[in-house]
Amino acid sequence: MLNRCEFHFYLMEKDPANLAALRESIGKEQTHPKIRVHLEECDFSKRFKEELDAIETRGKGIAPSFVFIDPFGYWIPIDLVRRVLKFPSCEVMVNLMAQPVTRAVRDHTKAENLNVLFGSEVWRQALGIESFSAQMEKLIELYVKSVGARWTTKLRLTGQTDYTLLHFTNHPEGRTTMKKAVWAITNKYGKPGSDQLLIKDNPDQGTLITPEPDLAPLSQTFQNDFFGKTFTRAKALDWLVEQDYLETHLHKVLTEGRKDGWLETSHRGLFGPSMGETSMTIIGGNLL
Q: Where are the beta strands (DSSP E) in 73-227?
A: 90-96, 151-157, 163-169, 198-202, 205-208
- Reported as half-sphere exposure (CB side, CA atoms, 13 A), residue 42 has a value of 14
Decide which of 208, 243, 265 is a domain's last residue: 208
Are residue 167 and residue 276 in the same domain, yes or no?
Answer: no
Are residue 59 and residue 164 in the same domain, yes or no?
Answer: yes
CB 209 within 8 A of CB 157: no
Are residue 51 and residue 193 in the same domain, yes or no?
Answer: yes
Partners of 156 in the β-ladder: 164, 198
Are residue 168 and residue 63 in the same domain, yes or no?
Answer: yes
Q: What is the pLDDT of residue 96?
A: 93
Are residue 83 and residue 119 in the same domain, yes or no?
Answer: yes
Are residue 65 and residue 195 in the same domain, yes or no?
Answer: yes
Decide which of 158, 183, 208 is a domain's last residue: 208
CB 237 within 8 A of CB 194: no
- Reported as half-sphere exposure (CB side, CA atoms, 13 A), residue 35 has a value of 7
Q: What's 234's domain CATH number?
A: 1.10.10
Residue 111 backbone phi and psi in degrees, to 5:
-60, -40
Rounded-to-integer distance, Cα 38 and Cα 10, Å: 5
Number of domains in the chain: 3
Are residue 237 and residue 152 in the same domain, yes or no?
Answer: no
Are residue 18 and residue 141 in the same domain, yes or no?
Answer: no
Rounded-to-integer distance, Cα 193 and Cα 114, Å: 34
**Beta strands 230-231; 280-282: pairing state:** antiparallel
CB 157 within 8 A of CB 74: no
pLDDT truncated to tens, each residue of the chain (288 aa)? 888 999 999 999 999 999 999 999 999 988 889 999 999 999 999 999 999 999 999 988 888 999 999 988 888 999 999 999 999 999 999 999 989 999 999 999 999 999 999 999 999 999 999 999 899 999 999 999 999 999 999 887 766 667 889 999 999 999 999 988 888 776 655 544 334 444 444 444 344 455 567 888 899 999 999 998 999 999 999 999 999 889 999 999 999 999 999 999 998 899 999 888 999 999 875 544
- Reported as half-sphere exposure (CB side, CA atoms, 13 A), residue 145 has a value of 11
Rounded-to-integer distance, Cα 261 and Cα 264, Å: 7
Q: Indicate the burial class of 69 (C-beta count within 10 angstroms; 0-12, 13-18, 19 or more).
A: buried
Q: What is the pLDDT of residue 287?
A: 47
Q: What is the pLDDT of residue 74?
A: 87
Q: What is the pLDDT of residue 185?
A: 74
Of 218, 264, 222, 268, nearest to 244 by C-alpha is: 218
Are residue 93 and residue 233 in the same domain, yes or no?
Answer: no
Are residue 14 and residue 90 in the same domain, yes or no?
Answer: no
pTM for the model? 0.83
Range of the domain at 281: 216-287
Are residue 185 and residue 231 in the same domain, yes or no?
Answer: no
Decide which of 145, 177, 208 is a domain's last residue: 208
CB 196 within 8 A of CB 159: yes
